[in-house]
Structure 1
Amino acid sequence: MCELFALSSRVPATLGFSLERLARRGGADGPHRDGWGLAFYEGPDCLLLREPHAASHSALMRFMEQQGLRTRMAVSHIRLATFGDRALRNTQPFARELAGRMHVFAHNGDFPALLDAPWPVEARFRPIGDSDSELAFCGLLAQLAPLWDGVGHGQVPPLAQRMEVIAEHARVLRELGPANFIYADSDALFVHAHERTQLDGRIRPPGLYLLQRCCWRSAPELADSGVNLSTVRQDVALVASVPLTDELWQPLGEGSVIALSNGVCYDADGRETAPEQLAAGGPG
């Protein structure tokens, strides 16, 4: 199965160490050598980098580890191909524009039934590649589009309404196969945890882990904007398929849907919550 990673932070942060650990799993310490991708958000837009090659052997990935951008929101995917050729068109994360914002999606799991279903000719969002994951993304955007079409320029639908649509789509996907995914709409990161192949070879929860950090750090990058602060509070939330450090990552419960914004976690009702309230049990 593929591996996912995402970041949400209060102050722009780099991903160097996390990317290094993740990249090693993309062909060196793990079998996920069929492609990798990174999406770095800046406001409503994002820089999307993808290659249909092993992350552990990528000069571009090494450059991002060492000289990576600062961002408040990022999504990454390391691919182990199951459906769809090893090609750029099937390399995640996938991205689409909706309501003047870039929406990004990355999935870990398999939905073979989606590949056999007829695709509506009049569909607003259509796949570019031939993977089940991109079909799942296009279906999610079709469900969310009415919410975004109903708000004014520069506005976002209420978080609880977006969560409701995403949770229902996730429920449908869980009936088709392992459905861990991360979706970003430039305002928030949405995470759905299900099940994945564990070290013993069995498919079971947890499908994703969450880590939240809070610290005070220097902020020289704010000097250019005229803000004179020697230190600033930093809240960071990280999501990964497997823990990337020795810290206390919390396994997410099967079927849980959360939102991350500015490093803070929100439950399915749009209320701020603590990671331990979402725990699934222990590591697999």
Structure 2
Amino acid sequence: MCELFALSSLYNTNISFSLEEFADRGGLNGPHKDGWGVAHYEHLDVRLIREPFPASNSPCVRFLQEHGFRSNIIISHIRMATVGERQLRNTQPFSRALGGRMHTFAHNGDLDGIIDLPGFETGNWQPIGETDSEHAFCHLMYLMQPLWQTGEPTLEARYRLLEDFARRLRPVGPANFIYSDGDYVFAHGDKRTQPGLEGYHPPGLHWLSRTCGLSEESHEIPGVVLQHEQCDQSVVLVATVPLTGENWQPMEEGEILIIKDGSIHHL
């Protein structure tokens, strides 16, 4: 299965924070060699860099590390292909424009047959590739479109729509996904393959909350560097599996986290 990672922070942080360890999973320490992508927001727009090649030896990953792009919302995906050719069009994250901003989506799991299932229409949001993940995203955008036609929807309206979307997605297959509209990050945990177990079991995602004090120029833990400029920093990290030995929290099956500015929000 693929691997997901997301970061939400109060202030911009350096995108090189964990790419080395995360990239190692993309073909060096794991089987995920079929592509990778990183989306990081600049206000409501997205800088999206993707490749249908292993991340572990990618010059583009080195480029990101050396140039230190900064963002307060970052979504990453490393692919192990099960549906669709190893091509750029099938490489996540996916992104579309709606309501004057970019919406970004990354998914982990196989949604068998979703393209032909009734109730998952995409309207004018047509996929570019062949993956079930992109089809699910286009269906989500089809559902989101009415919400954004009259201005920025409330958080509750966004959450309720995502809650219903995730509820209908879970019976089709593992439905771990991370979605952002440039304002909030929504992480939905379902289930995935687990070492030593047959089939799919929760947790499908884990999360970690961190803070950095005013006096710290950076905060380093294995594989993660959070750089900020003379300010108190709050960060929430979401990953398929814990990237460090810290106290990552497993997400329950069907749980949706609402994250904004490095903090967990509740309705």
Task: Provide closer, same or farther for how the CA distance between residues 233 and 169 of structure 1 changes in structure 2, counting only shifts above 3 A.
Answer: same
1:162 and 2:162 are equivalent in the alignment: no
Distance of 1:245 and 1:255 partners within structure 2: 24
Q: Is the 8 A contact 2:207 2:248 kept in 1?
A: yes
Specify the code of the residue in structure 1 equivalent to 2:191.
Answer: E
Give the % identical residues: 49
Superposition TM-score, scaled by structure 1 size: 0.86
1:192 and 2:188 are equivalent in the alignment: yes
Distance of 1:121 and 1:212 partners within structure 2: 36
* Alignment match, 2:224: none
Distance of 1:113 and 1:2 partners within structure 2: 18
Distance of 2:150 and 2:9 partners within structure 1: 28
Q: Is the 8 A contact 1:195 1:204 kept in 2?
A: yes
Any unmatched runs of 5+ in structure 1?
A: 221-228, 271-284
Specify the code of the residue in structure 2 equivalent to 1:194.
Answer: D
Q: Is the 8 A contact 1:9 1:263 kept in 2?
A: yes
Distance of 1:230 and 1:136 partners within structure 2: 38
Distance of 1:204 and 1:113 partners within structure 2: 20
Superposition TM-score, scaled by structure 2 size: 0.91
Any unmatched runs of 5+ in structure 2?
A: 218-227
SS in 2 for 1:242: coil
Report the alpha carbon displacement of residue 100 of structure 1 after superposing the two structures with TM: 1.1
Report the alpha carbon displacement of residue 17 of structure 1 after superposing the two structures with TM: 3.8
Q: Is the 8 A contact 2:122 2:142 kept in 1?
A: no
Report the alpha carbon displacement of residue 116 of structure 1 after superposing the two structures with TM: 2.8
The structure with more strand, counted as a fraction of residues: 2
Q: Is the 8 A contact 1:35 1:55 kept in 2?
A: yes
Distance of 1:218 and 1:102 partners within structure 2: 34
Distance of 2:98 and 2:194 partners within structure 1: 35
Deviations 1:101-159 (Å, cap 9, x if unpaired)? 011000000111213337999812110000000000001111111111121xxxx2111
Distance of 1:122 and 1:160 partners within structure 2: 23
* Alignment match, 2:54: 54
Distance of 1:97 and 1:164 partners within structure 2: 21
Give the stretch that moved more between structures: 179-188 or 195-204.
195-204
* Alignment match, 1:26: 26
Q: Is the 8 A contact 1:99 1:149 kept in 2?
A: yes
Deviations 1:75-110 (Å, cap 9, x if unpaired)? 000000011111000000001000110110000001
Distance of 1:166 and 1:230 partners within structure 2: 34
| Count of residue pairs the alignment pairs up | 256
Q: CA RMSD in A?
A: 2.0
Specify the code of the residue in structure 2 equivalent to 1:84.
Answer: G
